[in-house]
Amino acid sequence: MTGVEDDDPLLSIGVFARRARLSPKALRLYDRQGLLAPDRVDAATGYRYYRESRLATARLIVRLRGLDMPLARIGEVLAVPGPEAAAVVAGYWEGVERRIAAQRELAVHLRIQLSGGREGMDTYKIEQRDVPEQVVLTERRHVRPEDLPVWIPDACARLEEEAKAYGGPVAAPFVVYYGHVNEDSDGPVEVCVPIDPAREAEVTAPVRTEPAHREAYTTLTKAQVKYPQILSAYDAVYQWIEESGARATGPGREVYFADWESAGPAAQVCDIAVPVA
């Protein structure tokens, strides 16, 4: 036996498992997944042996599993150097936090729904504002709920690119819902990008004038925008309209005033608004 082997002895799977705080069954699974193969397998008995130095990797796997990280993602961590591995862990955890934030808002939505909607008045702050007349480039489509997260940003990007020919957007883009979008209905829905009214005569793309109006609205975080919890915000605005004695005069809309990609789950990104009289 060499000096190197003396410094890094082989441990049986039972000893290695105990010291790594893993079960032999888990070690066999990690071997099949290519995460932690034994250093030696006895040809006659099939017994597995691991170098003591491999304990660091085994313990890292234990800790990553403590984050509920899937085995495939753990493989990505183990396959790269330390700084890159840290980036993989950070990216995974950011995704977990986004999912938890969305689930938290879904729980709020369900609580409001199951309580008959009364909690919505306390959860969402409803305000009013006056909106001037706007000339808007538009794209309209019938869509399902699962299509909205892709179609809305894509349509906004197309219209904002088109708006460059007329001096660029002059206000935040908004999305108008002319019908319900749910499991049984597909709208239609219209994405609008405001442009300089003085350039309207030059426009060759679909364009229309959005009338001046007063609207009731509430502001949402990125996590709250996720379907179906966004429906709670709409319910809260319409409930406020009914209880305040106002009257809805147009379809509901979403006004996206922040950069979606860079915003975190808790960042305010969108207003849910309904024209009122």
Q: Give per-residue pLDDT as tens, 132-185.
A: 999 999 999 999 988 998 999 999 999 999 999 999 999 999 999 999 888 788
Phi-psi region of 154 (alpha: psi -120 to 50; beta: other; left: phi over 0): alpha
Predicted TM-score (pTM) of this structure: 0.64
Q: What is residue 110's predicted lDDT score, i.e. its pLDDT?
A: 78
Q: What is residue 1's predicted lDDT score, i.e. its pLDDT?
A: 44
Q: Which residues, 6 or more positions from 197, have their beta carbon under 8 angstroms from its beta carbon?
A: 133, 134, 135
23-41 exposure pattern, b = at least 16 Cβ within 10 A, e = fewer: eeebbeebbeeebbebeee
Region 57-66: what's the mean pLDDT? 94
Q: Which amino acid is at 76?
A: E
Q: What is residue 128's predicted lDDT score, i.e. its pLDDT?
A: 97
Q: Is the pLDDT of residue 120 over 60?
A: no
Q: What is residue 127's predicted lDDT score, i.e. its pLDDT?
A: 96
Instruction: Tell me the pLDDT of the chain averaged across its residues.
Output: 90
Q: What is residue 229's predicted lDDT score, i.e. its pLDDT?
A: 78
> For residues 105 and 258, which has the higher predicted lDDT (pLDDT)?
258
Q: What is residue 122's predicted lDDT score, i.e. its pLDDT?
A: 67
What proportion of the chain, given as a percentage, has pLDDT over 90? Answer: 71
pLDDT tens-place string over residues 264-273? 888 999 999 9
Q: What is residue 121's predicted lDDT score, i.e. its pLDDT?
A: 58
Is the domain spanning 3-79 CATH 2.160.10.10? The answer is no
pLDDT tens-place string over residues 29-59? 999 999 999 999 999 998 999 999 999 999 9
Residue ranges of domains in the chain: 3-79, 120-276
> Quick one: 120-276 is in which CATH superfamily?
Regulatory factor, effector binding domain (3.20.80.10)
